[in-house]
Amino acid sequence: MKTYLTLALSLLMLGMVGCTTVSETGRRQLLLTSPAEESQQGLAAFADIKQSEKVSTDAKANTQVQRVGTRIRDSVIKSHAMPDAQWEFVVFDSDQVNAFALPGGKVGVYTGLLKLVSSDDELAIVMGHEIAHVTSRHGGERASQATLANTAGQLGQAALGATQYSDTTKNLILSAYGVGAQGTLLAYSRTHESEADTIGMKFAAEAGYDPRAAVTFWKKMAAQSGGGQTSGISAMIAKWTSTHPPDAERIANLEKLAPKYQAVYEQAKLQYK
């Protein structure tokens, strides 16, 4: 009982002290890490990645990423996000159709992605999205959720330990809890993706890049991955078990979102002519 009460109190305190708000969307989030801790981890991770991944020497690719990245960076700075960032944009030579951003202002773009994007606008959408994950501190939030879920798991084990269930029954209950916890965490991850879509589009538009490029880019990504082909119960299961919104849903949301930032883009692009 003492262990049960201790874990229950810990769980309550974690939930109470770690709540904050994503400034751009107003969404409440749980954060048990500090920006300094996240930045330190991001800087260390990026240094390791540069040692393990092949850095591209392609002049055209590097020029494009630096050009777009610098403008997105300026948009982020205007939003008073990541004030202490040590910005760096690196192109990695790989067929991966991917990009990433880490706390501390470190951004990586793979040459495979550059082969897919057809304009600076599309690249800005992707880079804005990845950087938005960082400005919204999604990594820290995920780590905090994992900590809370782990504490909840210990709480569940302590509670079951005091019952007369057989070991088999206890394991089945804990397995059921694990599925529930995973579903919750995955749902948060889909929330992060949608939030990064919104904030990333804002960053791109403020940097003078067309927000409508989000739709054209994700349509190409959906076609490449064969997305949007499931329906009915299969689609429901796929949505629940995926960490990203279904392609069709994501594209529909982006189509609704783009007009909101069209005027911002039209105004911002004038300074880059």
pLDDT (tens digit, 9 = 90+) per residue, 28-78?
Answer: 888 888 889 999 999 999 999 999 999 999 999 999 999 999 999 999 999
Expressed as residue numbers, the domain containing 47 is: 29-158+176-272
Proportion of the chain above pLDDT 90, given as a percent:
52
d(CA 3, CA 78): 48
Is residue 171 a part of any domain in this protein? Answer: no
Residue at 236 is within a domain: yes
The confidence score (pLDDT) of residue 7 equals 46
CB 76 within 8 A of CB 204: no
Q: How much is the pLDDT for 174?
A: 40
Of these residues, 130, 141, 193, 195, which one is catalytic?
A: 130
Task: Flag whether 126 is in a domain.
Answer: yes
In a domain, 1, yes or no: no
Nearest to 66 by CA among 120, 119, 112, 103: 120
> Is there a domain that residue 11 lies in?
no
Distances (CA, A) of 17 to 4, 31, 35, 164, 264: 20, 8, 15, 35, 36
- Residue 150, pLDDT score: 64
- Number of domain units in the chain: 1
Nearest one of 145, 139, 128 to 35, comparing CA atoms: 139
pLDDT tens sequence across 144-183:
777 776 655 554 544 445 445 445 544 544 443 343 444 5
pLDDT above 50 (res 139): yes
Look at residues 112, 35, 109 and name the one whose alpha carbon lies nearest to residue 72.
Answer: 109
Assigned domain for 115 exists: yes
pLDDT of the residue at 66:
98
Tracing tokens 């003492």 back to the chain, one arrives at: 2
Q: Would you state the pLDDT for residue 151?
A: 53
Question: Among 164, 56, 157, which Cα is nearest to 110's?
Answer: 56
Catalytic site residue 130? yes
Q: How far apart are the C-alpha atoms of 84 and 77, rounded to whole Å?
A: 10
Is 234 part of a structural domain of the chain? yes
Which are the contacts of 41, defined by CB distance < 8 A and separation ≥ 6? 103
The whole-angstrom separation of Cα 216 and Cα 121 is 10
Is 250 part of any domain? yes
Residue with tokens 């119960």: 233
